[in-house]
Structure 1
């Protein structure tokens, strides 16, 4: 009798212990890139780091290719708590935190190292403005340098842009940039773009090589012109609702993993650009031209800066330009 009583008590202790083992905290991270895109790969790498470093206590499920919606849907989901995490361009984030639109101004960066320094300082400070809307920025990754593509002609000067119907993100800076170049801007979600190009709804679009190659836009675009007109930062955002489920130690772990992934992902982006260009050349659908008059484009797009400075002043632009 005593032995059976002891076994029952022991079983009760084991059962109580098993019930006290906390289930992992699971977050859903959505983005619009294909899995083989460098920031899509960055999302997977980040999820792996978080799981390893938390010993499985935090799991991030990655949903690529617009499975959870387009970029605007994803950012709105953060605000309402229906999406836990996302990667999104500053162009889309700028609709919610207008000040970050400064990073979408044409030719704002001298080169890639300048972009990194500006984003990790000025950029992270500006992104804090999103916290009032329930969006916390963990780090800023990248999506690369953006170039023009179209089905009509090579683009060498701003004159070549005139009359082209170009898909842009739903963002005032990009819309105004196309207007001053003489093109007709057409805001459209990325998930709709391939079909729109294929059917001639729009003549062209602008994106980094990673998107052009992985989304196969070169199949329906004859000309790719290396305009390098903007650079595409990619903030890593978490909903405040999800963030507050973590203790201080877990929050620090998540932020450090995002920063470590940032460095890994940026290098991957730099290393991959030539490979994506080669993929496009090998497929043989599009012609790439690099004889672009950058100075003419810089001059032609200068009026876009006035739109930003009229609204926010020029202090942020000057701070970015002063970074060495």
Structure 2
């Protein structure tokens, strides 16, 4: 009996050494976002996935899911914490997760992308990112959603008073709600995936978004007026759930992080190109476009800055620093 067992063990060992090792499947990472095809979210996420999949071929495969397939922004953040989604690209909603992100909800805070780069270096990474990690999330890179403008079906908006009584959809971030309440509108947070129907049916009169989101979601089909307010510049963030992310090999994490930051240049260049191209397309689609009195909006925004500084005292020095970086 012992002789038989010895023979079987020897045969198994020989087979193990002679057979080729089974190919290991790459780690699949799910990246979710709310952007429609053609949006800056979709273009950024797909570019990132392409570069990572080339660099980590056989080790990691990022699969992107746009159009809220894996949920809206709040759901995606919850799924990151649970580990059921690996990556997401939220924007405004982060101010409801970490109060300090509200600095990016303040009207006319960010002057341009060069100003944003300075804010990112001197405000975001030292203060906001560590606060994010305390919530079980980690930011790999700061990307972009863009400059936001107001659309509606009632009338051109030139000064804040023109917004009085508007049923206005806003993202799921409390400071955007407060901003438009200050301007006299009746803002309501709503998932982006529900917006087209709400505008089409008259549940909402208008909304505010960057050109990339307006055009890719075909909002020009259900909105008549486009007012170039540029009231907020919204960064976007490539986010991961901290616990699950830290289980990945260190060399994989390094590539994921380095590539995320490397893609920022692509994001900014693409967003800048889209700004001029998409405005032309929105005009061609029949939208009536008008300039706004930005000084009137800035004057009407003082209360929002004051309320935010009172509500989030730790943000006051960050606001002062961010403003100084724009001078």
* Per-residue Cα deviation, 1:140-187 (whole angstroms, up to 9, x for no partner): 100110000100000111111111111011222111101110000111
Say if 2:190 is the partner of 1:188: yes
Say if 2:290 is the partner of 1:289: yes
Q: Distance in 1 between matches of 2:34 and 2:26?
A: 26
Equivalent residue number for residue 205 of structure 2: 203
Equivalent residue number for residue 268 of structure 1: 270
Q: Distance in 1 between matches of 2:183 and 2:66?
A: 33
Question: Which blocks of at least 5 consecutive residues in structure 2 are unaligned?
Answer: 1-9
User: Structure 1 residue 250: deviation in Å?
Assistant: 1.3
Equivalent residue number for residue 94 of structure 2: 93
* Per-residue Cα deviation, 1:106-162 (whole angstroms, up to 9, x for no partner): 111222311232124312330221212221100010011000010000011111111
Q: Distance in 2 between matches of 1:281 and 1:28?
A: 36
**Equivalent residue for 1:156, pick from 143, 155, 158:** 158
CA 1:47–1:163: 2 relative to 1, 3 Å: same
Q: Distance in 2 between matches of 1:149 and 1:120?
A: 33
Residue aligned with 2:97, SS: coil
User: Structure 1 residue 241: deviation in Å?
Assistant: 3.2
Number of residue-to-residue matches in the alignment: 315
CA 1:14–1:227: 2 relative to 1, 3 Å: farther
Say if 2:16 is the partner of 1:12: yes
Equivalent residue number for residue 305 of structure 1: 305
User: TM-score, length-normalised on structure 1?
Assistant: 0.93
Q: Distance in 1 between matches of 2:12 and 2:107?
A: 72
Equivalent residue number for residue 235 of structure 1: 237
Q: Distance in 2 between matches of 1:265 and 1:175?
A: 27
Q: Distance in 2 between matches of 1:49 and 1:114?
A: 27
User: Structure 1 residue 298: deviation in Å?
Assistant: 0.3
Say if 2:107 is the partner of 1:103: no
Q: Distance in 1 between matches of 2:33 and 2:121?
A: 21
Question: Which blocks of at least 5 consecutive residues in structure 1 are unaligned?
Answer: 1-5
Q: Which moved more, 1:49-58 or 1:80-89?
A: 49-58
Would the aligned equivalents of 2:94 and 2:173 in 1 still touch at CA under 8 Å? no
Would the aligned equivalents of 2:34 and 2:41 in 1 still touch at CA under 8 Å? no
Q: Distance in 2 between matches of 1:192 and 1:133?
A: 27
Would the aligned equivalents of 1:124 and 1:140 in 2 still touch at CA under 8 Å? no
Residue aligned with 1:267, SS: helix
* Per-residue Cα deviation, 1:226-274 (whole angstroms, up to 9, x for no partner): 0000011100001123312322221111100100111111111101111
* Per-residue Cα deviation, 1:177-220 (whole angstroms, up to 9, x for no partner): 01110000111111111000011111100000001101011111
1:108-127 matches, within 5 Å, as 108-125=109-126, 126-127=128-129
Would the aligned equivalents of 1:124 and 1:137 in 2 still touch at CA under 8 Å? no
Residue aligned with 1:229, SS: coil
User: TM-score, length-normalised on structure 2?
Assistant: 0.92
| RMSD value, Cα | 1.8
User: Structure 1 residue 9: deviation in Å?
Assistant: 6.5
Would the aligned equivalents of 1:97 and 1:127 in 2 still touch at CA under 8 Å? no
Q: Which moved more, 1:151-160 or 1:243-252?
A: 243-252
